[in-house]
Amino acid sequence: MAVNGSAKQVEHQVSDLDASKLKVNLSETLKEIPPPETLTFGQTMTDHMLISTFHPSTGWSDPEIKSYGPLSLDPASSCFQYSTNVFEGMKAYIGPDGKPRLFRPTLNMARMTRSAGRVALPPFDTDELLKLIKKLVQLESRWIPRTKGYSLYVRPTIIGSRATLSVGPSDHAILYVICSPTGPYFRTGHKPVSLLAVDEHVRSWPGGTGGYKLALNYAPTLMPQQLAAKLGYDQCLWLLGEDKRVTEVGAMNFFVVVKRDDGDLDVITPPLDGTILPGVTRDSTLALVAAHPSRTVLPNLPASTKLYAREHQLTMHELAELAQQDRLLEAFGVGTAAVVAGVGRIGFQGKDINLPPHESGLGPIGRALYDRIVDIQEGKFEWEGWSVVCDLE
């Protein structure tokens, strides 16, 4: 019976993601770990996975670590129909102290929040998710290869599971994390990759989703990649606009090393204008370049070599001109999977722009960055707290 003609409203509080409620159900039989040299990126999965589901009336379920296995989804789920899928790429390493560690994981968590918001997926507490990831990595630490250049790839994912064909935000979701031991992303190691500059197929555009790590950004790149392979190139260099602005290389951020008029070196990458993914390795590269030589000296580079980190728009015509002037010294892609991958040649308008050859496949700047980043990741070089030990609070 209503009091004074009004009904009492009861607010319902949905549950946040809560690491303290974690349930752990370990596999009874563990898999055999393959030799590191046989690993192919993303093909071998560890024993366990982390999972939690979101329901609009109850919020996030108690997270669970359980045996790796298939998900059960309605065929009409929005992840299938409207690509409401977000993922992150992280890596875990074993440090000299024998403890597993992650590389700058808070940047991945912040980017995952932004990406999930871009496709209107339910929010989640990234501090709690990071605690859960640390626990999963601890449990799967036997899978982390001890060989230099190898690691445990960690893939946090959130997908919309709203079961309807109507177009709208998914108010149901599944959050899960899977792990895969991996070696060098390219089977050829540090052999320089070849690029085909592509402008008829666009990876990203102003106002689009290129600045977010969404699954829908990757599928449209697969066919152009096939075309590049048929022409003898390893990856696509994505261009944008009539002036043929350089954006990304494959699924990596793009860098060039340019000799300045004063003899010093500019290390240049396109700016974050919304068409470029704000990569963790990209940010790390810019920071390390800016620190040399005032705060640190990069491996095998003399302190007299002055580097300038620059975020500057480049066009293919400018790159061609720099190459003709012998000022384009190096080009490389950076990303979580490959860390640093050198570029040997760039196909553009029927001709190749050839980069100076280097015995190791990476030029001195690319090699110095690769060595320093990997040493930080593996806990062999302490820098800015970037290597985070998976200790639980």
Q: What tens digit of pLDDT does each residue of 120-146 get?
A: 999 999 999 999 999 999 999 999 999
pLDDT at 391: 83
CATH fold, domain 19-182, is D-amino Acid Aminotransferase; Chain A, domain 1 (3.30.470)
12 pLDDT band, cuts 50/70/90, is low
pLDDT at 1: 36
> What does the alpha-carbon distance between residue 140 and residue 152 come to, in Å, rounded to a whole number?
9
Residue range 5-31: mean pLDDT, rounded: 80
Please state, in angstroms and as integers, the Cα–Cα distance from residue 287 to each residue in 213, 291, 306, 312, 373, following that order. 22, 6, 14, 15, 11
What does the pLDDT look like over 197-242, one tens digit per residue? 999 999 999 999 999 999 999 999 999 999 999 999 999 999 999 9
Residue range 148-158: mean pLDDT, rounded: 94
Give the three-state DSSP class for 391: coil
Q: Is the predicted pLDDT of residue 147 greater than 70, yes or no?
A: yes
Q: What percent of the chain lies above the pLDDT cut of 90?
A: 90
Q: What percent of the chain lies above the pLDDT cut of 70?
A: 96
Average pLDDT, the chain: 94
324: which residues sit within 8 A by CB, 6+ positions away? Answer: none
pLDDT at 8: 40
Domain chopping of the chain, boundaries? 19-182, 193-377
Q: Comparing 19-182 with 193-377, is the CATH topology the same?
A: no
Instruction: State how far Cα 8 lies from the chain centre.
Output: 49
Task: Residue 274: name the closest of 335, 198, 218, 209 by CA.
Answer: 209
Q: Is the predicted pLDDT of residue 188 greater than 80, yes or no?
A: no
Q: Cis ω on the peptide bond leading into residue 293 (within 30° of 0)?
A: yes
pLDDT at 191: 87
> What does the alpha-carbon distance between residue 62 and residue 52 come to, in Å, rounded to a whole number?
6
* C-alpha radius of gyration, the chain, whole number: 23
280 pLDDT band, cuts 50/70/90, is very high
DSSP β-bridge partners for residue 156: 177
Q: Is the predicted pLDDT of residue 190 greater than 90, yes or no?
A: no
CATH fold, domain 193-377, is D-amino Acid Aminotransferase; Chain A, domain 2 (3.20.10)
pLDDT at 189: 65
pLDDT at 149: 83
Residue 326 or residue 393, greater confidence:
326
Q: Is the predicted pLDDT of residue 274 greater than 60, yes or no?
A: yes
186 pLDDT band, cuts 50/70/90, is confident
Q: Is the predicted pLDDT of residue 5 greater than 80, yes or no?
A: no
- Whole-prediction pTM: 0.94
Angle of helix 105-118 relative to helix 280-291, nearest 10 degrees, comes to 140
DSSP state at residue 263: S
Query: Residue 73 in contact with residue 172, Cβ under 8 Å?
Result: no
